[in-house]
Amino acid sequence: MNLTEAPVPECGARSLESADLVRGLGPWQTTAVVVSTIIGTGVFLVAAPMARAAGSPGLVLVAWLVGSVIALSGMLCFAELGAALPHTGGLFAYLTRGLGPIWGFLFGWADSLLMGPVAFATLAAGFMKFAGFLSPGLNAPWLTLHAGHHVFTLTAAQPLAAAVILSLTALNCLSVNVGGSIQLVLSSLKVAAIVIIILTGFLLARPTGGAVSYELSSPRGGAFAATLSAIVPVMWAYNGFQYLGNLGAEIRQPAKNIPRALFFGMLIVGVLYVLVNIIYFHVLTFGQVARSGDVASDVVKSLIGPRGAIWLTIAMGISALSSLHGVVMEDARVPYAMARAGLFFEWVGSVQPRRRSPIGALTFQGTLGALIALTGTFEQLLSFYVFVMWMFAALGALTVIRLRLTEPDLLRPYLAWGYPWTPLLFIAATVALTTNLWIEQPVRSSLGMLVILAGVPFYLHKSAQHTVAVTE
């Protein structure tokens, strides 16, 4: 059987956009989702690894500019796809339509079983890490088990992280309207916390004079290699814009609101990133930033003393919680779309009759995320997530090009600026990123590929079932 021609339901009807869901997200809520899923804890942390990688303030600035252009190019691609194909499942729908059913399935398989649950566990653990700063007892070991060279330690933070995931999953089961309102509140608190840091820095900081007191051995390739290394944290900081399309069937006036939310969301994020990094290098010397284990904490301590670290910890906790809520909301739509297309477990496609929320998919992914959080091994899985996500993001940009060629008459309410250079730039950058990850972590990246390929037999089985059902 030719995998790209296996019989599966096409985009549309009940397969990818079901009447069971309601378009309950307005422009403000949609923009809040974009801001919350992009801004996690990276805004507080990436300045230090960037400074260490670049070795000079000038190269840090270049890395931010280049990384921002790459992220903007990707956003433009996903804005075009989201406006033209406002279906539940985002990339699952785009790849199915543009590259073939097998590609959409493999993304949905990896996202449903690995990327989504691992993202839940990572963000919940980040939230508990900040809670542990305020209550150190959360990190005290309850149980330690030895299995050969491996040691498993259970602390209070792990079951609490699982409980946080399940709680936010339950909130998302109420309705997309409630979820959108919660997201708007949390993202507003997150933005307010970052703005306070920025304003405090401008009002209270004494300029350092831009002293560069950091020595870095020149990497192979000189400034070019250093800039490439510094771009990686930038791309991580911008990660998340590609998720909005998952909610395509639940956004009001998607042809207008999806591109606008992506544009204004990225604009808000970009402005905040630039201003907060200006404060970091305004308050601390370049060498202090490069050596810092937690730049934001060092800046706040410098401005308002040790007690300021408590408020910063609360702000970072809110940021992690906001991101977790947004990712739970968006990611569950992928297994839901797959189940409605007949390519996943049927019960995962169930909808709460009164609230019209995808309760089956939320329960499925929330439970997986909670189980991974209990194990405490999600950090080892995080590299899988990064590798797989950016690989499929590149395929999303490729889909823009292929659909322009194969479906020139497709109604496109929004056209990506700079086509075809913007998708080509994004494809080249993401391929470089994933190749670099494979070189640096060949074992974990290869395991990530195996997880993806393990879905092929499942796809063939489900496709055969669908063929039999159609012929009957």
State the residue range of the domain holding 166. Answer: 3-471
- In Å, how far from its chain's centre is CA 45? 16
DSSP per-residue codes, 317-366: HHHHHHHHHHHHHHHTHHHHHHHHTTSS-GGGG---TTT---HHHHHHHH
pLDDT greater at residue 452 or residue 82: 82
Distances 58 to 13, 64, 218 between C-alpha atoms, Å: 52, 10, 15
Q: By three-state DSSP, how is residue 18 classified?
A: coil
Closest Cα partner for 232 from 42, 450, 457, 36? 42
pLDDT greater at residue 471 or residue 11: 471
- In Å, how far from its chain's centre is CA 359? 21
- Confidence category of residue 388, pLDDT binned at 50, 70, 90: confident
Q: By three-state DSSP, how is residue 220 classified?
A: coil
* pLDDT value for 210: 46
- Confidence category of residue 8, pLDDT binned at 50, 70, 90: very low
pLDDT greater at residue 201 or residue 380: 201
**CATH code for the domain in which residue 39 is found:** 1.20.1740.10
Tell me the average pLDDT of the chain. 83
Query: Cβ distance 331 to 342 under 8 Å?
Result: no
Closest Cα partner for 420 from 65, 70, 73, 69? 73
Angle between helices 57-84 and 254-283 (to 10 degrees): 170
Please report how many Cα atoms fall inside a 13 Å half-sphere around the Cα of residue 137, on the Cβ side: 1
pLDDT greater at residue 102 or residue 1: 102
- Confidence category of residue 9, pLDDT binned at 50, 70, 90: very low
Q: Is the pLDDT at 42 greater than 70, yes or no? A: yes
* 122-131, 219-228, 241-250, 427-436: least confident range: 219-228
- In Å, how far from its chain's centre is CA 178? 21
Tally of structural domains, the chain:
1
Q: What is the pLDDT averaged over residues 16-26? A: 71
Q: Is the pLDDT at 19 greater than 60, yes or no? A: no
Dump pLDDT digits (tens) for 389-437: 888 999 999 999 999 999 999 999 999 999 999 999 999 988 887 887 7
- Confidence category of residue 17, pLDDT binned at 50, 70, 90: very low
- Please tell me the distance from the alpha carbon of residue 54 to that of residue 57, in angstroms, as a whole number: 8
Cα torsion through 47, 50, 51, 53, rounded to 10: 160
Q: What is the pLDDT averaged over residues 172-182? A: 87
The most confident of 62-76, 216-230, 407-421, 426-440, by mean pLDDT: 407-421
* 273-277, 351-355, 467-471: least confident range: 467-471
Closest Cα partner for 373 from 169, 185, 173, 125? 125
